[in-house]
Structure 1
Amino acid sequence: MVDVGVDASSKTAYPDVAIAAAQMIADGKADRALLICGTGLGVAISANKVKGIRAATAHDSYSVERLVLSNNAQVLTFGQRVIGIELASRLAREWLTYHFDESSASAQKVALITEFENKDQ
């Protein structure tokens, strides 16, 4: 586990942290990232700007499951102002147990997303 976050007194903008974490995944230095901001949305948008990264906000068990099993997302984001610490902890633990199956029906859909991302536009 690598903490790329900020401490309580830091003024670092959330996009800097989200992009740094996502870049670690893209560079093969990390497998996943858990990112938190006020809503979870800003860090998800920021992380998704890094090529090859799939990030989404999820605040329930089913969405966390589908994030990995259907979408092979490497980044889970939470909204600190939206979700309680107990639920966030439980969802993070659940998220870590899921692994994408490259032979699943969803693999072809994820491949289409990747193909589009890799197109010269």
Structure 2
Amino acid sequence: MHLARGLRSPLRIAIGADRAGRRYASALTGELSAHPLVDYVLDLDTTERPPAYPEVAVAFAGAQLVAEGAADRALLVSHTGVDMAIAANKVSGVRAVNAHDPLAAKAAVEASDAQVLTLGQGHIGLDVARHVVAAWVTFQFDSSAPAAAGVAVITGYENRIARPVAFR
């Protein structure tokens, strides 16, 4: 999210989980819905027709909503969160991070403009997850901060490799 400090709009957050992360995702959905900095939460539920690899499908769906501007951020939960972060990072324009504490979530947003947070239900307790997510929604990227130059380098590289290569 590229907003100057103090000019914050409520966040639109997509949230999804595979089977291994569903309990945390369910608990965090309610808390995010009630958070004053959150406009709405979009549930990426796949239980009706589960895909072959739900962690990948959910990660792609959440990241795509962010890339398209339909969501400001996405919260994805699996057993480790690592698989979802890797998958979400494959969507152009998206930066996903797996965080286990509020400091990592802060650094991810403020220094790297990460729009996707992944959590591992099998690796952190629900209370810790609640603290990470509560902190995560309060942080915002400042495009005028020195860290923005690093994000610009990453974006430039991503744009360079995303272009089709002309064959000679």
Identity of aligned residues (%): 43
Q: What amino acid maps onto 2:153 in structure 1?
A: L
Q: Work out whether residues 101 and 131 of structure 2, in 8 Å CA contact, stay in contact via their aligned partners in 1.
A: no
State the TM-score, normalized to the length of structure 2. Answer: 0.68
SS at match of 1:39: coil
1:96 is matched with: 137
Alpha-carbon distance in structure 1 between the residues aligned to 2:123 and 2:49: 22
Q: What amino acid maps onto 2:42 in structure 1?
A: V
**Max Rg structure:** 2
Q: What is the count of residue pairs matched by the alignment?
A: 120
Alpha-carbon distance in structure 1 between the residues aligned to 2:122 and 2:50: 18
- Structure 1 residue 6: Cα displacement: 3.4
Select which of 43, 62, 72 maps to 2:103. Answer: 62
State the superposition RMSD in angstroms. Answer: 1.4
Alpha-carbon distance in structure 1 between the residues aligned to 2:112 and 2:105: 10
1:6 matched to 2:52: no
State the TM-score, normalized to the length of structure 1. Answer: 0.94
Query: For each residue in 1:12-64, what CA deviation from the matched residue of structure 2 results, as whole angstroms up to 9, or x when unmatched?
Result: 32100110010001111000001011101000001001000000100012111
Moved over 4 A (4+): none
Relative to its length, the structure with more strand (as a share) is 2
